[in-house]
Structure formats: C-alpha cells, structure tokens
Chains A and B, each alone.
Chain A
Amino acid sequence: MYAFEYLRAGSVAEAGALLAKNPEAKLLAGGQTFIPTLKARLAQPSHVIDIGRIAELRGITVSGATVTIGAMTRHAEVAASAEVRAAIPALAALALEIGDQQVRNRGTLGGSVANNDPAADYPSAVLGLNATVITSRREIAADDYFQGMFSTALEDGEIIKAIRFPCPKRAAYCKFHHPASGYAMAGAFVADTGAGVRVAITGAGASGVFRWKAAETALAKSFSAAALDGLAVDEGTCIADLHAGADYRAHLAGVMTRRAVQKITG
C-alpha cells in the first residue's frame, strides 16, 4: 500500500466537495476490491474518502412497485432483508451468492456497481431488472449506465446514492462460481418484468455485463427453457483467460440462462 490521506465524509455533499478538491482522491465504499488493489500497490490515490458511514446512503425502501437500496447497503443486508426477499427474491438470492460471508458483511451495492467488474454479480441484476442508478447529480437508466469492462456512465466526482429496482413479475439469477475468486465465471439474471423479458449476462462478456437480446426475444414469445434451444451467446464477445476459453464462457452463459428460467418456471 502506498501512503495516502484518509478522509471520512459525513454526507454525500461533503464527499463530493472532497472529491472536487482532491482530483487524485478515490472513494472507499466497502473496500472489497479497492483495499486489495491498494495493498497490491496497484493504485496510488492521494486521498481515500470513506463514504461507508454516510447514513443517507444506507437502507432499503420498498415503495409501490420499486425497491430502492442505498449505495452503501451491505450485501449481507440485502440478502437478509425481508422486504427485498418479499419484493424481489432473486435480488436477495443474488446478494447471498456474492463472495463469502466476510465479503458480504463489508461489500456494498454501490461499490460493486460503480466498479463494474465484468464478473461481479450486481451489475446483472441492475441491467436485468432495468433498474435506475441514482447519483449525486442525476438518474441513469441501467441500459445507459454500463459502458464496458470497469467502465460506467459516472462522471468525475459523481457519486452513486442509491439504486431503484422495479419489482419484476418474476426473476431469477443463476451463477457459476469461479473456484478461486468466487466471482461469476458466468451468471445470468433473467427477469420477466411484465413489460417484457430481460436477460443480463455477467462474467462472460469481454465488455462486461450485457443483455442477451436473442434470448430475451425468444423468452418473450415463450417463457420456457425450451425456447432457448438453438440459441447461443456469441463466443467472439466473451472473455478467454487462464481459467476458461471464450467458448466455455459462452456456453456457460447459455446454461445459466436456461437454469435461471427453470428456477422461475419450476
């Protein structure tokens, strides 16, 4: 770890002001990616601004047909939330599959979505549920938010405050765990929103989370695993690395999508 100044922000406004004042500063949320990055000396911020204790960023609100989750809400809180489990059980189930218990006790929704790791779980729920990212400056639709591996629509100094998830008619998440890291080797979030079907794939895409539109169209016609027969994710768009080839990840994305549909249809 390189030396840095540690600052703790008491409010989103204060965090924004500190960011504006210190162009080389970075925000610290749950720290489950950022702290290991610092420890490996892969980042050298001048200041680390801790936003993990900002009260306005915590909490879960169910209102009408939406669930709004504060950016600093821990994965474990989402997994255990009776409100989330009632309104969007697939989201609570997803949170329960992130990392391990220690990671879930520290890691946050906002941290995950801001980082947009191509193998993270939450981006698939945000995209699959057509959620809205509420920031310190605006609201961003999920389809506009994710812009490639570790890349988002967030501007410099813009802070995620909460994410608003519309409650779907039915949804499920299915994930194949990477045996070392626990991230998704491939994960599929399938949602029947009432207005249509959305399928978001994480872990597999070389540009991060993406919608599998062919599967969405097929499932919209007939919401069944059989509707996916003959469909395949284009392996040309998938990650190939030490652990698995692009063909395996493309195949796995298909398997996880089928299983997510089967989870829903029973």
Chain B
Amino acid sequence: MRPVASGGIGAPVARVEDRRLVTGAGRFVADAALPGMLHAAFVRSPHAHARIIAVDTAAARAMPGVHAVLTGADLLDAGVRPLPHAAVLRRADGTPMRAPPRHALAAGWVRHAGEAVAIVVAASAQTAADAAEAVAVEWEPHDAVVEARAALADGAPRVNREAPDNLLGVFAHGDPGAVDAAFAAAAHVARVEVVNNRLVANALEPRAALADWQDGRLTLRVGCQMPHLARAQLADAVFGIAPERVRVLVEDIGGGFGAKSFLYPEYVAVAQAARHTGRPVRWVATRSESFLADSHGRDSVSEAALALDADGTFLAMRVATVANVGAYVSHLGAVIPTLAGTKPLAGPYRTPLIDLDVRVVQTHTAPVDAYRGAGRPEAAYLVERLVEAAALATGIPALDLRRRNFVPRAAMPFTSAMGEVYDSGDFARVTALALAAADWDGHAGRRAAARARGRLGGRGLAYFIESTGAANPVESVRLELGAETVTVYSGTQNMGQGLETAYAQLVVEALGVDLARVRIVQGDTDRVARGGGSGGSRSLFIGGAAIGDACARLVALARARGAAPAADAWFAFARAQGGTLSVEGKVKVDAFSWPNGCHVCEVEIDRDTGAVAVTRFTAVDDVGRVINPLIVHGQVAGAVAQGLGQALLEEAVYDRRSGQLLTGSFADYAMPRAGIVRALGVFLDESAPCTTNPLGAKGAGEGGSIGAPPAVAAAVLDALAECGVTHLDMPFTAPKVWRALQRART
C-alpha cells in the first residue's frame, strides 16, 4: 500500500462542493437575474408532424408586458442559422448523410411533439406563458412515425426530405464473409433480439438559459457540460460571429448526464431574443418541457447472433442494429449508436470476428443524444444478453462461457475484433472479486428462502467494458500560484460529479499544499481559454492529467529559480517572486481508457403480481487508479441506480398513431427511488491501472449504468427460467413480467 498523502490522491476527502449544494447555496441559471431581465416562454408544437401554414402573433404581441414574439421565419430573416451536428455517416449508396436543418424555431415543418415554434418574451414568466398561449398557429397535420423499424417500412410517414426512406445513414464494420464462414462451421449458434428502451435523463435541475447581448457581445448563462463547444457552435455555426463575441458562463449544474452536453434550440432562441430586445432574457424549462424537448437516450433494437465451437469458445458475432435518432440530429446523435457506442462491442471477450451493421433512422420523436453511457450501455447489454443466450444454447453455464472467452490480463494490450486496443484490465480477477463480494455461492440458500415465501429467486452476472474519453484526447489548464492560493482554470465542467474536489486533490498530491488553498475555476469561456468540457467520463483522466502536467511545470519553474518549495512554502515562494506565477499544463492522452467491471444482481419476483425486487446488487469496478474513493463510490452507486431505472422502470413512450409523448410527467415516467435496491455493495479494484494516461485513471462516471441493466436482465430471466420464460425486454415492469408468466403457462 502506498501511503495516502493528506488530501492527496487516494484520500477519501469529503466533497468540497457539497456544503454549497446541500445548503441551497448553489448557483443555478434560475438563480441568476440581471437588471432589466425579461422572461421567455416557448410556443411548442402540439403535433408530432405538421406543416406550419401560418403563425399569427398579433394577439400575443398586443398583450401588456409582452416585448417580442419571434417565429422561425423571424430567425431566418435575422440570419440565424440552424444548429450544427456531427454529420459522420454515409447513406447506403455512399452519399453523405443529410438531416433536416434543425432551426432554433421550426420553419415550415414540425417533426416532433413539443418542438419549439415561437418564443415569447415578456416582463414576467407568467405573462410570457399567457402570451405563448395567445399565439395562433395554423397547422396542417400529417401522419407520424415514432418507432425506428416502423419508420423503415414502405410507405411510412417521411421525416426527412433528404432521406425519403427515413434512413439517415449506415455504419458497418467487419468482414461478413469471414463471419458467415465462422457461423457455418460453428457447433452452436445463439441468437437474441433485444430492445434498448428510450430514456429521459431527468436531471434534478431542468434546462435553463439567460442571455444578454450588449455592445455586440453575447453572454449566455447556461447549464452546459461543454462551455467552449457551446461558444464555438453559437459563434461559428449559428450566429456567424467571432468566438470572442460570445461568452458562455456556467455556474452550478443540477445534473447533466450527457443531456446537457450540447447546444439546444432554446438557447439559440433566447440569445436571439436578447439581441432583438436589447434586454437580458431568461428561460427556465418546466418539467413538461424537459420531457418533451430534452434530448432522450438509447432507443435501439438489435438482432444479434453468436457462433461458438463445441467447447463454448466464441467464434464470431453478428449484430444488426436499428437506432432511433429522432426527428433531428442532435450534436452527437448519429455518432453514439455508431462510432462511439460500438467501440466496446466485443466486450471483454476474445471473439475474433464481428460483423456489424447499424442503421440510424429518423422518426417523429425528440432527438436522441448522449445519456450516461451513450451507446456503451446498449453494446454491453446486447453482448451480455447474447452470452446468456449462448449458455442456454450450449448448456454451458454463462459464467463458464465468460471465463473461457475473457481476454486474459497477460494478453494486454489486446486488439479487439472492433479494432480497439484494450490497454489494461483483469477481467477474471474482477469477476472472482465480484463472486466473493456477492456471495455468489450463497444464492441457492436465498433462492430457497424466497421460494418458501412464494417468490421466484434469480441471480445474474454481467461483465462490461467501456471506452471513455479519447474522442477528444487533449486538455489544457492554467495553474496560478498566488500569495495565498493555487487556482486551476480548467475547461472541463463540474456538473455535480465532484471535479472541484478530485482536481484539488491532484494539486495537493503534487505540491503538498493544503486542500483548502486550492481553487478550481471552470465554466467561463472568458476566464478559461479552452477546454473540451465534460462528457464520456473524460474529465479526470484527461483534465486531471493536464493538472498533473501543470504542477510538474510549476515545480520545474521553481527549480529553475533555485527553489524547491513544498506545502505552505509555495505561497512564500510566490510572494518572493512578486505575487503570482502562472503555468500552462497540457496533455494529450494516448488512447481511450477502458473502465470495466463485474456486476451481480439478485432479484425476487412475486409470481402473483410480476413485481421484481432487487434484493442484492454488487458492483466491482475497475476504474484504474482511484483519486477519491468516496466520489467513485458515489459515481458507481448513482450510475447503478440509473441502470436499475432503465432495467426496471424507465421508458419514454410515444403513441404510435398520434406521435404524442405518453410519458410526459413523473406520474407516468417512473424514476428509480432510493428503495430500488435493498442492498448495494460497491467495490473498486485498482490492480490494473490505465497505461495510456499519466494518472493511471480510467473514466468512472458511467460504468454503473452500463453494467446494471444486463445484470438485472440475467437475474430476471434466471428467476423466470423455470416457468419457461426465455425472453423479455426492458423495463421489467410488473405487468410485463406477469404477462410473460401468463403466456408461459398457456
């Protein structure tokens, strides 16, 4: 054991931001107010698909207190351009993907229920909401399609004029001929078809924006995980102005989970409203607006097959996925089910061949983009469901199949069938730790006890590996040593995940200063020169490595001046040097990091009601070197809770005919509560640190939401196996489980 420096790397330091957040002293956009500020409300489409024939704003504009009403046409007239997105795909014929332009306010057509059509700006939020109702829109409603596979059918309602088949683009990987040959020679073939349910992130804080446009310069206060990207997109893509003329300011964020990563139409409309009125304009979403207009997560259906030899060795995997990207392509909408989400598709296994075909489809639903895990939960869920199916097909226990096919530690670095290099990991060891921590062998007794109470007991295990961070491998920070404090300026973004604490610990570790002397400045594109923001679990191991580099440069600078300060002597050194010393730290990590873990779930199912109770959940995660175990435990536990939410409760449902969102409130969209799991054990294994960044850390923010769904699925299907149920899709709600039991009986 390495001794832990007081407050340094590995110390379980209580989060410095928590006092502020739990005592109501956090500062969110809704807390910000500027002199002369106006309030915005949006007119939203009641239709999933309609042509806008006319928008009559006269009555709204005539209402006392109303300052402006802007429509899509007004924004076009003002030269406001559509929101950008990553157009990474090609269509089947090789031509580039082309999505309909996503205007901040719909122009001509609306393509999902809740799409913003006009913005009303008034002296109070109440007046703005009243006036929004007075905007009269003449609609020509059209048929809508909300499910990806239905959208591919002949004659389906059309979302995108550029892609009349609703197929935005395709993504393929592998050698189909070689995979065919492997399947032909296989002793066993396992097949699954699984749906990955559409989710709403539902951060505690709804989205909000406060724009002020003075003297030709836009200041946008917004809860955004990637402030510099937002600045670039606003300046370059949307308004066509120099980046210096845009300042993005982010204070506290009440949860991001990926859904607050990118630019939204409302932010652009609020900014334009501020420019138009010359007054600050603020908008705070209602929860209903969050459900309708936040980007959603997941929503794909996959058919997959696994070829095995007689011993259970994986020979090849074939995957065909149809992913629903929604009505418009949000920034990474087309990336997540393709380039990003398929990186870990080989899982922790040596499977030599993968044939992958992804079709990205548009529908009349809210855009789908990043949500905790962003493509990787879908991959892990699919692979682990396939392994469970292979156990049924071969008669070999799933655990044995996994162990037989794991990439061994000795084989690291290992290039997977997806062409990805896993640098580190000890899957067999982590599995052994999980089995012990979960009392795997003790399940039989608990199962018997459950049976005595009339319940079906089940046990499931899942192993996941995920790719984090290196889509954007560069990060830099400025570090200022002052007479009293050390200040780090970072373009990554705290959104509740504890960066202020973990970053400070890195400074403590390197310089020996007291934790209380460290300040972390984020979320201001004026004070922080650049940064990639926070997403994909990249912050600590990339942004943190940049802090390590900055500290090393400061030490070198001191040495060059003949000093070797430590602890408080740093501040005396700074004073002796005239007050403030500034260094720039920079890092480019070599590759993605590959966090992985083994999750074990036990459930009890009430035969009479179909209710599933998670009785025990054990997570053993390898996040590489741990900077703060308290924070990582919290990250894993929170992500597990979200994963349990996806597995057991959550599903965004649109009406197939009308295209209306049926789960538009917490009365219909079930969120996990604290009681979702009766006993949760979180364990961290640091025995295989990451080799591709200086800290040895791997991303830690998403694993739970990746590992939990397949672990729950395995447990539920294990419990139901004796009743003849072999397949179910998430969420495993009581009515759904009950119906499966009824069907199996008949």
> What's the least CB distance linking B607 to chain A, in Å?
10
CB distance from B648 to the nearest CB of A (A): 8
Within 8 A of B (CB), among A1-22: 1-3
Q: Collect the chain B residues with CB atoms within 8 Å of residue A244's CB.
A: 734-735
A3-43 interface mask toward B, CB cutoff 8 Å, 1 = contact, 0 = none?
A: 10000000000000000000000000000000000011100
Q: How far is the CA of A266 from the CA of B130 in the complex (A)?
A: 57
In the complex, whether B669 has a CB less than 8 A from a CB of chain A is yes
Q: Is the CB of A255 closer than 8 A to any CB of chain B? A: yes
For B648, give the chain A residue with the smallest CB separation: A179
Which of B6-14, B567-575, B660-668 interfaces with chain A?
B660-668
Contact of A180 among B126, B611, B670 (CB under 8 A): B670
Proximity bits, B645-670, A CB within 8 Å = 1, else 0: 00011000100000000110111111
B729 to nearest A CB, angstroms? 16
> Which residues of the partner chain B approach A161 to less than 8 Å between Cβ atoms?
none
Knowing A180-B670, A180-B671, A248-B735 touch, does A40 contact B288 (C-beta < 8 A)? yes
Contact A181 B609 (CB under 8 A): no
Chain A residues with CB below 8 A from B667, complex form: 180-181
Task: State which residues 231-255 of A face B: CB under 8 Å.
Answer: 242-245, 248, 251-252, 255
Given A40-B288, A244-B735: A252 in contact with B609 (beta carbons within 8 A): yes
State whether B735 touches A180 (Cβ < 8 A).
Answer: no
Which secondary structure dominates where chain B touches chain A? loop
Q: What class of interface size applies to chain A in its complex with B?
A: 20 to 34
Q: Does B582 contact A (CB under 8 A)?
A: no
Interface flag for B405 (CB, 8 Å): no
User: Closest CB of chain A to B744's CB: distance in Å?
Assistant: 15
Residues of A within 8 A of B441 (CB): none
Nearest opposing residue in chain A for B127, CB measure: A3
- Does chain A have a CB within 8 A of B463? no
Asked if B663 and A248 make an inter-chain contact with CB atoms under 8 angstroms apart, the answer reads no
Interface size in chain B (residues, C-beta < 8 A): 27
Q: Are A2 and B670 also in contact (CB < 8 A) when A242-B662, A244-B735 are?
A: no
How far is A1 from B610 in the complex, measured between Cα atoms in Å? 39
- Which residues of chain B are near A2, meaning CB under 8 Å? 130
B738 touches A181 (CB 8 A): no
Instruction: Verify A179–B609 contact, CB threshold 8 A.
Output: no
Q: Which residues of A contact B648 (CB under 8 A)?
A: 179
Q: How distant is the Cα of A52 from the Cα of B683 in the complex, in angstroms?
A: 49
- A41 proximity list for chain B (CB < 8 A): 129, 133
Considering the complex, give the chain B residue whose CB is closest to the CB of A1. Answer: B126
Chain A residues closer than 8 Å to B126, beta-carbon distance:
1, 3
Chain A residues closer than 8 Å to B608, beta-carbon distance? 255
Interface contact A242-B663, CB-CB below 8 Å = yes
Could you give, for residues 286-322 of chain B, a 1 whenever the CB lies within 8 Å of some chain A CB and a 0 otherwise?
A: 1010000000000000000000000000000000000
The residue from A1, A40, A180 contacting B669, defined by CB atoms under 8 A apart: A180
A223 on interface, CB distance cutoff 8 Å? no
The reply to whether A179 and B649 form a contact with Cβ atoms under 8 Å apart is yes
Question: A133-173, CB under 8 A of B: which get 1 and which 0?
Answer: 00000000000000000000000000000000000000000
* Docked CA distance A3–B129 (Å): 11
CB distance from A32 to the nearest CB of B (A): 12
Please, which residue of chain B has its CB at the minimum distance from the CB of A259? B608
| Contact A248 B670, CB 8 Å, known A2-B130, A176-B611, A242-B663 | no
Identify B653's interface contact among A179, A242, A251, CB under 8 A.
Answer: A242
Are A255 and B609 neighbours in the complex by a CB distance under 8 Å?
Answer: yes
Contact residues, A170-191 vs B (CB, 8 A): 176, 178-181, 185
State A255–B734 Cα separation when bound (angstroms). Answer: 13
CB of B394 within 8 A of chain A? no
4 interchain residue pairs of minimum CB distance: A180-B670, A244-B735, A179-B670, A181-B667
Q: A-side interface residues toward B, CB under 8 Å? A: 1-3, 39-41, 176, 178-181, 185, 242-245, 248, 251-252, 255
